[in-house]
């Protein structure tokens, strides 16, 4: 992977997209700066972190709601970057969250939304795979290399097809891009 001549941050060759670390840093800072509207919640661990194979990542969600307005409130979940190489989804989720916080109190629709709903934005559902994509690999799945396929870059589980809801019907071959995993919800992500 190669940075553009004047690029000092972002994914090599794609300065408009933040890395896993930049996204997490920016959104945790957003929560710290606006504790009345946002909190940065650790919701689990990536495959690499769970197995200790590599350092791996904590999975974080930015929870957005006006804490001063009592609940219960309906909840909305936005999961982004499930497929590692879909770079735009994480950036769009982060900008969506940043826009809501920035527009609170001035945009009546945003104010109403955060007053009466609780939004959970998970900007990096697949941070291990995303790091592979950031390095220039055309990576799609998570990085589970203990699933029956040991061929780089084909191992891993397609997290979109690993849900416990209607699991099955995707590939059962561990080296295929759409490998559903050995069982429903087998992956920590």
- What pLDDT is attached to residue 3? 47
Residue-number span of the structural domain to which 189 is assigned: 141-189
**Chosen domain end from 131, 152, 174:** 131
In this structure, the chain runs to a length of 189
Question: Is position 10 within any domain?
Answer: no
178 and 105 in a common domain: no
Question: Is position 136 within any domain?
Answer: no
Q: Which DSSP category does 161 fall into?
A: G
pLDDT tens-digit series, residues 146-189: 989 988 889 999 999 999 998 998 999 999 999 999 999 999 99
102 and 27 in a common domain: yes
Locate 53 and state its tokens: 């194979």
Quote the CA–CA distance of 170 and 188 in Å, as a whole number. 19
145 and 126 in a common domain: no
The dihedral formed by the CA atoms of 45, 61, 130 and 7, expressed in degrees to the nearest 10: -130
- What pLDDT is attached to residue 181? 95
28 and 86 in a common domain: yes
174 and 115 in a common domain: no
Quote the CA–CA distance of 25 and 66 in Å, as a whole number. 22
For each successive 10 residues of the chain (189 residues), what is the average pLDDT?
58 89 97 99 97 91 98 97 96 98 99 99 97 90 92 92 92 95 96
Question: Is position 126 within any domain?
Answer: yes
90 and 170 in a common domain: no
Spell out the long-range contacts of 18-21 with Cβ–Cβ below 8 A and sequence spacing 24 or more: 18/90, 18/91, 18/94, 19/134, 20/57, 20/124, 20/127, 20/130, 20/131, 20/134
Locate 153 and state its tokens: 């870059």
Q: How many domains does the chain have?
A: 2
Question: Is position 122 within any domain?
Answer: yes
The residues with which 64 forms a beta bridge, in sequence order, are: 38, 119
113 and 171 in a common domain: no
Cα dihedral across residues 109, 110, 115, 119: positive or negative: positive
- What pLDDT is attached to residue 8? 61
pTM as predicted:
0.91
């Amino acid at each position: 992977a190669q940075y553009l001549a004047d690029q000092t941050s972002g994914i090599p060759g794609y300065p408009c997209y933040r890395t896993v670390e930049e996204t997490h840093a920016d959104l945790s800072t957003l929560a710290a700066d606006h504790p009345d509207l946002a909190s940065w919640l650790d919701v689990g661990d990536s495959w690499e972190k769970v197995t200790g194979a590599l350092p791996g990542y904590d999975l974080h969600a930015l929870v957005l709601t006006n804490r001063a307005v009592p609940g219960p409130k309906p909840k909305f979940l936005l999961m982004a970057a499930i497929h590692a190489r879909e770079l735009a989804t994480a950036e769009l989720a982060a900008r969506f969250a940043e826009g809501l916080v920035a527009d609170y109190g001035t945009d009546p629709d945003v104010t109403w939304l955060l007053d009466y709903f609780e939004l959970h934005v998970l900007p990096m559902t697949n941070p291990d795979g995303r790091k592979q994509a950031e390095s220039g690999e055309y990576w799609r799945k998570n990085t589970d290399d203990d699933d029956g396929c040991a061929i780089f870059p084909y191992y891993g589980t397609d997290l979109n097809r690993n849900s416990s809801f209607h699991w099955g019907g995707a590939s059962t071959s561990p080296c295929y891009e759409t490998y559903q995993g050995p069982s429903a919800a087998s992956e920590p992500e």
